[in-house]
Chains A and B, each alone.
Chain A
Amino acid sequence: MSPRGRPAPSLLERLAADLDGAFEEVVTEHQQALFAFIAAQCGDPGRAEETVQDAFVRAHRALGGYPAERIRALALRPWLFRIALNALRSSLRGRHLQLVLVETPPEGVDPAAGPEVEALRAAERERLLGALASIPEAQRAAVLLRYAHDLSYPRIAEVQGRPVGTVKSDIHRGLEALRRRMGAEVEA
């Protein structure tokens, strides 16, 4: 709140008024989600960092060409997810998706519960990333957007540029496949 008690202008308002001045805040606010998404989507944290940087540079360029009205009306997070997904596609263009999986077997861990649990969790995380790598790209992205980033079906459809029905059935199938791979009980 500003001193006068008026609500402070929103980030989108400030972005529309001063793109360069407000852009750092866009990165600060959304980098974690975009990085986590792309890192899980491609399985390579180094590529993910470069891709997300590229996505923000593209986003800045795009915003520079938008009228203020359009910026104020943006749903920023889904819009950024979409740009990041496109940036990942161009990063992988002409290459097959190579998933680099670092196996970290929980060996020689401290017998104390904390580090042991931590190591087991890390192993579990790697297993899940491996399972994700085994399902089709579009399914993987849809499942991550739904369960890792809490986007609604219509938003995911928007990000992927696909019909909502397709997104729903993909998420359902993708989750089933992951559960099978992870050896978890498939709920009825």
Chain B
Amino acid sequence: MNHQDRGHGVPPRDVEAGLRELGRRPAPDTLLPGVLRQLGLGFWYAPAESSLGTVLVAHGPAGVVAVRRGTDGAEFEAWFREHRGGAVHPAAALPEALATAVAAGLRGDGRGVDVDLGGLTEFQRDVLGATRTIPRGEVRTYGWVAREIGRPGAVRAVGTALGHNPIPLLIPCHRVVQGDWRLGQYSGGGPEAKRRVLAAEGVDAADLEALARSRVRFHGSDTTRIFCVPTCRAARRIRDDHRVAFGSEREARSAGYRPCRLCRPAAAA
């Protein structure tokens, strides 16, 4: 039944108005992702599991661009637009090869993950590059990173750069701590999160606190006469009866010890 009520029914509409309306038909949501897939372009994100729970991992043609805790896609897309610029699209899963590398990375070995640090300064890229060399289960200091990149005076700037690490966990900024071995800040969710990630890698924050309280900076072995950062895999093998504690590089050197070549606790003399 179709009775047209002239009062407030359908206004008579001409062909031109009808054509204008056809011109405004919205494109389906699947159109853009389809184009990007065919061209291998665009940024995509999918969830992955980490020691901090579910994270969303975003990647582009050149590798991983962002990691963020949480599961809220809309929130992630808004954050991405603000921090990286542009859009990121939901994907069912990461591409297979990348997924394998990311899973290993989230278990603590991120060396096999291609990362895309476009949009960062050269200094930030240097800081993150040096941070990637710190092995799972070991920690270094902000000062160590500054020295590694040839900017020993830039300790605070290193802290700032790590605070803006767009790819936490895969670029292990949680393995960089204060000069006295206390945990310090963590952009991935504060000190408690840092403690949890390190615990999952076998680093006990309580041990680090104890070092800080007793003012120990380095451990040496009186058989090899080499000194290390305390979490260095070589230092962890020193038997207790051969372990020597040092409060500074000067103290270690004047006792006739040289820096370890693995953990590079100080510049080679």
Q: List residues of chain A with CB under 8 Å of any chain B CB.
A: 20, 23-25, 27-28, 31-37, 39-40, 45, 49, 52-53, 56-57, 60, 106, 113, 117, 120-121, 124-125, 128-129, 131, 143-144, 147-150, 175, 178-179, 182, 184
Known contacts A33-B23, A36-B23, A53-B31; A23/B18 CB under 8 A: no
Assess the A117–B10 pair: CB atoms within 8 A.
yes
For chain A, what secondary structure do more than half of its interface residues adopt (helix, strand, loop), or is it mixed?
helix
Assess the B41–A24 pair: CB atoms within 8 A.
yes
Which stretch of B32-40, B64-72, B128-136 is in the interface? B32-40
Interface: B239 (CB within 8 A): no
Place the interface of chain B in its size category.
Answer: 20 to 34
Chain A residues positioned under 8 Å from B35 (CB to CB): 27, 53, 56-57
Interface: B25 (CB within 8 A): yes
Chain A nearest CB from B16 CB (Å) reads 5
Assess the A20–B41 pair: CB atoms within 8 A.
yes
Known contacts A52-B27, A113-B8, A120-B10; A27/B32 CB under 8 A: yes
Interface: B86 (CB within 8 A): yes
A40 to B21: give the CA distance in the assembly, Å.
Answer: 11
Assess the B22–A24 pair: CB atoms within 8 A.
no
Assess the A28–B14 pair: CB atoms within 8 A.
no
Assess the A175–B15 pair: CB atoms within 8 A.
yes
Assess the B15–A49 pair: CB atoms within 8 A.
no
Q: List residues of chain B with CB under 8 Å of any chain A CB.
A: 2, 8-10, 13-16, 18-28, 30-32, 34-36, 38-39, 41-42, 61, 86-87
A120 to B12: give the CA distance in the assembly, Å.
Answer: 11
Chain A residues positioned under 8 Å from B24 (CB to CB): 32, 36
A49 to B27: give the CA distance in the assembly, Å.
Answer: 8
Assess the A35–B39 pair: CB atoms within 8 A.
no
Partner of B19, one of A24, A56, A121, A128: A128
Assess the A20–B61 pair: CB atoms within 8 A.
yes
Chain A residues positioned under 8 Å from B39 (CB to CB): 20, 23, 56-57, 60
Assess the A182–B15 pair: CB atoms within 8 A.
yes
Give 26 CB contacts A-B under 8 Å: A24-B42, A27-B32, A35-B25, A35-B26, A35-B28, A36-B22, A36-B23, A36-B25, A37-B23, A39-B25, A40-B25, A49-B28, A49-B34, A52-B31, A53-B38, A56-B35, A57-B38, A60-B39, A120-B10, A124-B18, A131-B15, A143-B19, A148-B19, A178-B19, A179-B14, A182-B18
Across the two chains, which residue of chain A brings its CB closest to B30? Answer: A49
